[in-house]
Structure 1
């Protein structure tokens, strides 16, 4: 027996509105970053602009993903579209990691050029000041908008969580790069004066080292979802507790459960031994009650109820299952 539970339409609408605002804000920041990079000759500003460009394209894809995961299962996708969200987060994180590594490579190349006696371009600071202040304010507003939508939808949307963190990272890049670049004119006469020509490159290296762990963490989490690795122990334990309680009330013997995470949703299979003859209607009623209980505990899910007398596929492995 199977059953599905999905976020209500209002949650999808809240997510869509937040993503729409983010899409156009990121387009503005992307254009502003690239223009500022050309005017100021700053690699840090170029990285910031490219980061926003990726966020703009991602917001378009995210909106489509948000709609697709609400679609019911069909003949083409018998298990539904929930894993599209995990797929999106995986590739989104890979692109962000790629941009940061590209920025690191460019900056290290500039440092190497300077250390070997090559010429590096002189920065123009005027455009940087205007850009930094504007972008930091926009990113702060975006991060707040995404987080508010994330909370309003029950803290279950991996898309909104990812975009909120991306906005914070973008703002951190702008704040750190802008503030550090604007401090360079004050370094003559200090011990750091020799670093002025490569200050832009050094700032990028520091920023990459500080923030690259965030997309890496998201990538590993979404990759685990796609690989079919079990949901976090706390989630599995919550499912096991509620299933065991529901089974005890009905007189069934609870055997085990399996839980996979797919973005904001979960795939749950529970294994029961009724220990007596039962009708399909009884199993359906049990499934309906359990789905309600699990929806309150872990959010939207697809639930399978498997009637069997076996503890697990393998005796040794089964002893480790909840």
Structure 2
């Protein structure tokens, strides 16, 4: 492992360790506050932090494996573990938000059905909101700083920074809204104060669920083998074409996939003359080094062929 990669891994590991223990504290604080205040919004906040705590443990292990060389058990390495992590983490967050929506919906249904709804206790909410918002902002800053230090190539750190901001937004929104409910007493909305936290939860869910949904869609495309963004593909094609021209090879095309911070590049070449296997290896290593500077961590493979590897349109077999 190169010095820069080792340093980046250390920075990532430290940031995730800080996040892990901070989220454990926030999870306990959220669940305790939910019990003391009888608030569904605080329960959602605590569950969200609990998901972040468990995710930080998995993220640290996955981050240490990304970039390791292939083995017999994992012939393609561990690069796609990062994408799997982000995908399933997004699904878990979506599940937590859906669960919160169901709980809040049931509370609203109970209220309008004439059932008994527990009265909120606002004291613990005020203390919780101030403490948790401060921690979330500090975590988001720490993750973003680590993300910049590692070259803005860690999908894990980027995801954790966004998660910390979402957690902080949940705390700010739910705390401020809940603490404003007592001021509704004596107004036309006064009778609905008992379900105020349930309504707040539903509004917050509608505001933030698009982020994990967008992340899930992006990582699902990576897992499905969809081509990397056009800008990345253009850089790879240009660098490969220039290198092939220097070597006197015919460049057909390049296939580029992205798996988190790692890029997979397959280049189709026609040497137009007999060459040794060592020449192909040298071309691959030189290309991988150039692409590392252009797009980040890259695994390159060379296919020596007379065609470009693409079937004509409409052909599936």
1:305 to 286, 297, 302: 302
3-state DSSP of counterpart to 2:263? strand
**Which digits, 9 at most, give the CA deviation of each residue in 1:283-321, with x for residues without a partner?**
222222211111111111111011111122313489xxx
3-state DSSP of counterpart to 2:99? helix
- Counterpart residue number, 2:79: 82
- Counterpart residue number, 1:173: 170
1:43 to 24, 37, 40: 40
- Counterparts in 2 of 1:50 and 1:229: CA distance versus 1, 3 Å: same
Runs of at least 4 residues off by over 6 Å: 4-7
3-state DSSP of counterpart to 1:8? helix
- Counterpart residue number, 1:31: 28
Which ranges in structure 2 are unaligned for 5 or more consecutive residues? none
- Counterpart residue number, 1:258: 255
**Which digits, 9 at most, give the CA deviation of each residue in 1:13-71, with x for residues without a partner?**
10000000000000000000000000000000011001101100110111010112242
3-state DSSP of counterpart to 2:85? helix
Matches within 5 A, 1:154-303: 154-303=151-300
Which ranges in structure 1 are unaligned for 5 or more consecutive residues? none
Q: For the residues of structure 1 that align with 2:65 and 2:275, how far apart are their CA atoms? A: 37
Deviation at 1:189, TM superposition (A): 2.9
- Counterpart residue number, 1:113: 110
Choose 119-128 or 304-313, whichever is displaced more: 304-313
Q: For the residues of structure 2 that align with 1:314 and 1:237, how far apart are their CA atoms? A: 21
CA contact (8 A) 1:225 1:262 kept: yes
1:140 to 112, 137, 141: 137
- Counterparts in 2 of 1:6 and 1:192: CA distance versus 1, 3 Å: farther
Q: For the residues of structure 2 that align with 1:59 and 1:92, how far apart are their CA atoms? A: 10
CA contact (8 A) 2:67 2:262 kept: no
Q: What is the TM-score with the length of structure 2 in the denominator? A: 0.96
CA contact (8 A) 1:6 1:70 kept: no
Q: How many equivalent pairs are there?
A: 315
**Which digits, 9 at most, give the CA deviation of each residue in 1:242-273, with x for residues without a partner?**
11111112211110111111111011101111
Q: For the residues of structure 2 that align with 1:5 and 1:195, how far apart are their CA atoms? A: 61
Q: For the residues of structure 1 that align with 2:29 and 2:306, how far apart are their CA atoms? A: 64
- Counterpart residue number, 1:8: 5
Q: What is the TM-score with the length of structure 1 in the denominator? A: 0.94
Q: For the residues of structure 2 that align with 1:297 and 1:123, how far apart are their CA atoms? A: 55
Q: For the residues of structure 1 that align with 2:195 and 2:31, how far apart are their CA atoms? A: 20
3-state DSSP of counterpart to 2:194? helix
3-state DSSP of counterpart to 1:122? coil
